[in-house]
Amino acid sequence: MNKLLSNRWLLLIVLVFVASLIGVVVSHRSIDPATATLHTLANGKTASPATPGFNDKLFSLTDPASPWVIVNKQRPLAPKTYAPDVVVPNMPLRSSDSSGEMHVGKQMAPSLEKMYEASKAAGVPLMLASGYRSYDLQVAVYGAEVKNYGQATADRESARPGYSEHQTGLAADLEPVGRNCEVAQCFGATPEGKWLAANAADYGFIIRYGESQEPITGYLHEPWHVRYVGVELAKEVKQKGNIPLETFFKLGAAANY
């Protein structure tokens, strides 16, 4: 009788031990070692956990001069008339270098030039379609969108003055030098668009408004619109499945003003 009880206790101990091992495995699959939980994206996919050692507090998210500043419909520039130091990048330009839009932020220019040289070497040279836009220029751009298409459509395709990434000098619209699929959805299917999506992170850029991200960003997919954030963050965003900056920094959706 004592031997039978002893065997039963031994079996119970073994079962408890196995159950605890299963719990540890499940825990490690669902929770990041750094205690950051996995993110469910707008498209239903799950983002990878943060890379160990990545410092998500390295730069300000509010300083307009910061490479990580987040500008969206809920986060205007402060001040709204902010103007960065800008230069004309050494690459093909859609219009004259005297045009304000053919300038980009000084801190972004070297990386943009390196990316252009790499695209050229790959046989898919890129051209700058639109870079920096001042507050006053954005007034005109947004106003024209509203006049031509109505405010609802304009707010999906263009930012209001003071809410535009272009005003930071850290965003650029790119296109093929042949100007096919110029600032259009079909750009993503061109050799230049495919190269940009695959290689932008190596030079510190992300495709800011990705596919199926409108519920978070508030903008239609723009495969031509890149945003400079630096190589470290760009690669981290890519590794997580090219999630929006709002999701990456846990800021919540910014689909509406």
Residue 162 has pLDDT above 50, yes or no: yes
For residues 219-245, average pLDDT: 98
> Region 195-210: what's the mean pLDDT?
98
Question: pLDDT for 65-124, tens place per residue?
Answer: 999 999 999 999 999 999 999 999 999 999 999 999 999 999 999 999 999 999 999 999
Which residue among the candidates 101, 222, 236, 246 is catalytic per the annotation?
Answer: 222
Distance in angstroms (rounded) separating the CA atoms of residues 167 and 164: 6
Using alpha carbons only, give the angle 88, 119, 85 rounded to the nearest 5 degrees: 20
Give the chain's mean pLDDT: 87
CA distance linking residue 127 with residue 102, whole number of Å: 10
Percent over 70 (pLDDT), the chain: 81
**Averaged pLDDT, 50-61:** 89
CA distances from 47 to 32, 34, 42, 238 (A): 11, 15, 10, 10
For residue 246, indicate whether it is catalytic: no
pLDDT at 52: 79
The pLDDT score that the predictor gives to residue 116 is 98
Mean of pLDDT values over 168-180:
98
pLDDT digit string, tens, across residues 107-134: 999 999 999 999 999 999 999 999 999 9
Range in 45-54, 171-180, 219-228 the model is least confident about:
45-54
Whether the pLDDT of residue 156 is over 60: the answer is yes
Query: Are 69 and 154 within 8 A, CB to CB?
Result: no
Average pLDDT value for residue range 30-57: 55
Residue range 212-221, pLDDT digits in tens: 999 999 999 9
- Residue 185: DSSP 8-state: G
**Predicted pLDDT of residue 33:** 29
Which position has the higher pLDDT, 22 or 235? 235
Q: What is the pLDDT of residue 23?
A: 44
Per the structure block, which two tokens stand in for 79? 């001040």
Helix H or strand E segment including 127: strand 126-130
Neighbours of 104 (CB within 10 A): 27
Looking at the chain, the number of H-run helices and the number of E-run strands are: 8, 6
Segment holding 206, helix H or strand E: strand 205-207
Pairing, β 225-228 against β 205-207: antiparallel
Instruction: Give me the pLDDT at residue 104, please.
Output: 98
Taking residues 184-197, report their average pLDDT: 98
On the question of pLDDT at 207 being above 80, the answer is yes
Which alpha helices (H) appear in 31-131, and where do they start and end?
109-121
- The CA–CA distances, whole Å, from 127 to 119, 173, 174, 200, 211 equal 10, 9, 6, 14, 22
- Give the range among 2-16, 67-81, 159-173, 185-199 with minimum mean pLDDT: 2-16
